Amino acid sequence: MKAKAVTALRCAIVMGMCTWVGASLAQPAAQPWSNVSLAPDARARLLLAQLTQDEKFQLIRSYYGGPDRPANNPVPKGSLGSAGYVPGIPRLGIPALQESDAGLGVASSDRIRAGHYATPLPAGPVTAASWDPQVAFRGGAMIGGEAHSNGFNVLLAGGINLMREPRNGRNFEYAGEDPLLAGAIVGAAVGGVESAHVISTIKHYALNDQETARDTINVEIGEQAMRESDLLAFELAIERGKPGSVMCSYNKLNGDWACENDYLLNQVLKRDWHYPGFVMSDWGGTHSAAKAVNAGLDQESAGEVFDKQVYFDAPLRDALAKGEVKQARVDDMVLRILRSMFAAGVFEHPAQPSPIDEVANLAVARQTLEAGAVLLRNQQGLLPLDVGKLGSVAVIGAHADKGVLAGGGSSLVSAKGGNAVPGLAPAGWPGPVMYHPYAPLKALREAAPKANIQFAEGNDVAAAAALAAKSDVAVVFVQKWAAESVDATDLSLPDAQNALVAAVAKANPRTVVVLENGGPVTMPWLDQVGAVLEVWYPGGDAGHAIADLLTGKVNPSGRLPLSWPRDVSQLPRPALPGAGGGTPPASVDYGIEGADVGYRWYQSRGIKPLFPFGYGLSYTSFSHGSLKVSAQGHQLEATLELSNTGTRAGAEVAQVYVQLPGAKARRLAAFTKVNLQPGEHRQLTIPLEPRLLAHFDTTTHRWVVPGGSYSVAEGHSSAELGTPVVVQLKPGAL
């Protein structure tokens, strides 16, 4: 141990450029911050004391590394050419920060090295639909590990904007509409990334729930409403996952840019939540020096390319000289960055190019889809397809012979093998439209080698219907591409896909529809088809997972992390002005639904969506035993027995909802997912999250439980609940 420390010290002094590789408890006095037995804050303070003012300024801004940057403004040497780069300080062993997008894997479009590939996770709603934080953790650890093995120590991963707007082009990066579920899932994913010694970046803070006019729009919402919805999701995820950084968003919130919003950054994140990490701006999200810094922004991202000017250099130095910003605040910014680096272990575990276990990582992606695909409809046991008896199958549409669709924008991952369907428009941002090369057709043929499986592209509706008519079963793949920076103008499937499904179903009622989409779509043909399987953008090795789900090797166990509206007329804002063109409005009113996002909106208005939040079918059946609720002060526990009453192994989610005194809607307050063998019973005890029993009091800034009768109910979805148990609670602050 000692020898190692001495060698490392010599290396630092003589070469002036070594980073600390191996940690040692016997630390040289010259670099006491290398002592891993000290807390990250203490280490950061020791290191901060060594920095010159210029070095501090070096750490509080990042550079853009992508190829589409101004020629007269070259990226500093050392950048890997990704979304963000902060040069290191070799004399003190501070490694550079190499930042890569994003939440579904190491992004590798033309923004990063040509020829680079990574393992794509399925879309965020798939992970959320697993209702299993362990699945989310494994996914986060996998993409974090790949980032680390590519030399990255910051992943811009941790998307958690709630689905207020089903047309939002980035819903596929997020985790649905519910604060508890999203908080648990994204928190676990963030924890997974950090476990790989990579700083995770929860984003986009906050209320950036639509892409239309994302960098001009002012979101209007009351304090209580946001604390009980979008901010609660962040609060829970930050608590659970401990991300090293938070990315503030493009939009304004109640009049101030999110990245210079004192309420969001100073008051909520840093004061109320005691967040010790740093806040980085979204790319183009910094609008000032003094105001942003004093409001709590710690690092300006890629300002030389995306902001009007680099605010966190000359303008900030001026503001400091004029006394508009205090030196202590600049020190705090640096301290937070260093602290997150120590907390994630980026000093002791330098990110360096190293081999990746592609097979194991692909298995993580595949298992995520197997846990999160949602069976939305299954008439007369059409699914699972019986491989032994399967005669002929028509596979139709969505390039299922070549691959599976991915969402577009900065999160896009290029999988090994590249784009299976190159050349689709748009080729430029937020494209390219990418199909990952995991073809369901090939996988189905492997799963059912004796069956006669033919493919029709689906462009020729009559030909597809003719193939379906002469097949035992038709499996129609339909898709809707979604991408960052654009919202959908409506919820319909594009092109002639509705006509295609209707014609195929008419030709053969034994029609299964597989959906590849970023969010809910209308299904005018729903009553005519036998089964619908939702796989969203299904990611790595999706073909095999889809084949196993369709043939019953894997029993679907995903449950919707979002409500599925019948059409836009059911939404709080049926119109989305500015989407698809036209002048967008200056502001959007999220006070319409307030904290009642998703199912709470539908319940409070007595609206029945097409599929409720929490919904999903299985190839087996479950019974939910009677619910008991015990209370110790404001700590509630739900106890019940879950049984698998069918003939196949499967997983069920116990979902516990609570209705506060006087409320019209219920709130998810606890859940757990269990695997059950046929005939197996399991006794479950699940603690309820106390903040879901409370209101956020804007005067005292505390969660306060109103006194009165609480109705607690458990069931299979938000709309299929057993007999409620009523519990009396005394009023009080948490």
Structure tokens at 212: 């239309």
- At 644 the three-state DSSP class reads strand
Regarding 410 and contact with ligand BGC (CB under 6 A), the answer is yes
Contact 669, 658 (CB under 8 A): yes
Tell me how many degrees the CA angle 475-478-479 measures, rounded to the nearest 5: 150
Structure tokens at 51: 């920095």
Which residue among 51, 83, 207, 640 contacts ligand BGC (CB under 6 A)? Answer: 83
If you search the block for the tokens 């996914």, which residue do you land on?
A: 139
Half-sphere exposure of 55 (CA within 13 A, CB side): 17
Enumerate the β-bridge partners of residue 702: 697
CB of 272 vs ligand BGC, minimal distance in Å: 24
- At 728 the three-state DSSP class reads strand
Q: Which of residues 128-157 bind ligand BGC (CB under 6 A)?
A: 156
Contact 259, 299 (CB under 8 A): no
Q: Which of residues 102-121 bind ligand BGC (CB under 6 A)?
A: 102
CB of 102 vs ligand BGC, minimal distance in Å: 6
CB of 351 vs ligand BGC, minimal distance in Å: 18
CB of 123 vs ligand BGC, minimal distance in Å: 15
Contact 579, 489 (CB under 8 A): yes
Contact 237, 176 (CB under 8 A): no
Nearer to ligand BGC, 378 or 410 (CB): 410
- At 301 the three-state DSSP class reads coil
Nearer to ligand BGC, 279 or 535 (CB): 279
Regarding 412 and contact with ligand BGC (CB under 6 A), the answer is no
Structure tokens at 156: 């811009």
CB of 623 vs ligand BGC, minimal distance in Å: 43
d(CA 284, CA 660): 41
Size of the site for ligand BGC (CB under 6 A): 8
Nearer to ligand BGC, 273 or 306 (CB): 306
Nearer to ligand BGC, 128 or 532 (CB): 128
CA distances from 42 to 22, 153, 182, 340, 407 (A): 19, 21, 32, 12, 42
Regarding 286 and contact with ligand BGC (CB under 6 A), the answer is no
Which residue among 282, 401, 487, 652 contacts ligand BGC (CB under 6 A)? Answer: 282
CB of 252 vs ligand BGC, minimal distance in Å: 15
Nearest by Cα to 127 from 204, 208, 189: 189
Nearer to ligand BGC, 159 or 715 (CB): 159
Contact 703, 690 (CB under 8 A): yes
Q: Which of residues 528-567 bind ligand BGC (CB under 6 A)?
A: none
Burial class for 90, CB neighbours closer than 10 Å (0-12, 13-18, 19+): middle
- Number of Cβ within a 10 Å radius of residue 459: 11
CB of 589 vs ligand BGC, minimal distance in Å: 23
Regarding 101 and contact with ligand BGC (CB under 6 A), the answer is yes
Regarding 401 and contact with ligand BGC (CB under 6 A), the answer is no
d(CA 383, CA 625): 27
Nearer to ligand BGC, 410 or 655 (CB): 410
Nearer to ligand BGC, 102 or 532 (CB): 102
The 185-224 site mask, x for binding ligand BGC (CB under 6 A), equals ------------------x---------------------
Regarding 281 and contact with ligand BGC (CB under 6 A), the answer is no
**What angle separates helix 327-344 from helix 40-48, to the nearest 10 degrees?**
130
Q: Which of residues 16-55 bind ligand BGC (CB under 6 A)?
A: none
CB of 83 vs ligand BGC, minimal distance in Å: 4
Nearer to ligand BGC, 124 or 715 (CB): 124
Nearer to ligand BGC, 247 or 346 (CB): 247
Tell me how many degrees the CA angle 272-275-281 measures, rounded to the nearest 5: 110
Q: Does 282 participate in catalysis according to the annotation?
A: yes
d(CA 519, CA 171): 6
Contact 198, 214 (CB under 8 A): no
Nearer to ligand BGC, 38 or 306 (CB): 306
Regarding 251 and contact with ligand BGC (CB under 6 A), the answer is no
Torsion angle of alpha carbons 8, 10, 13, 15, nearest 10°? -80
Of 132, 230, 282, 541, which is the active-site residue? 282
Nearer to ligand BGC, 408 or 594 (CB): 408
CB of 71 vs ligand BGC, minimal distance in Å: 20
- At 269 the three-state DSSP class reads helix
Regarding 300 and contact with ligand BGC (CB under 6 A), the answer is no
If you search the block for the tokens 């409620």, which residue do you land on?
A: 724
CB of 125 vs ligand BGC, minimal distance in Å: 17
- At 309 the three-state DSSP class reads coil
- Number of Cβ within a 10 Å radius of residue 359: 9
What is the β-pairing status of strands 695-697 and 702-705? Answer: antiparallel
Which residue among 63, 152, 205, 283 contacts ligand BGC (CB under 6 A)? Answer: 283
CB of 300 vs ligand BGC, minimal distance in Å: 13
Regarding 246 and contact with ligand BGC (CB under 6 A), the answer is no
d(CA 206, CA 373): 28
Which residues carry out catalysis? 282
Provide the binding-site residues for ligand BGC, judged by CB under 6 A: 83, 101-102, 156, 203, 282-283, 410
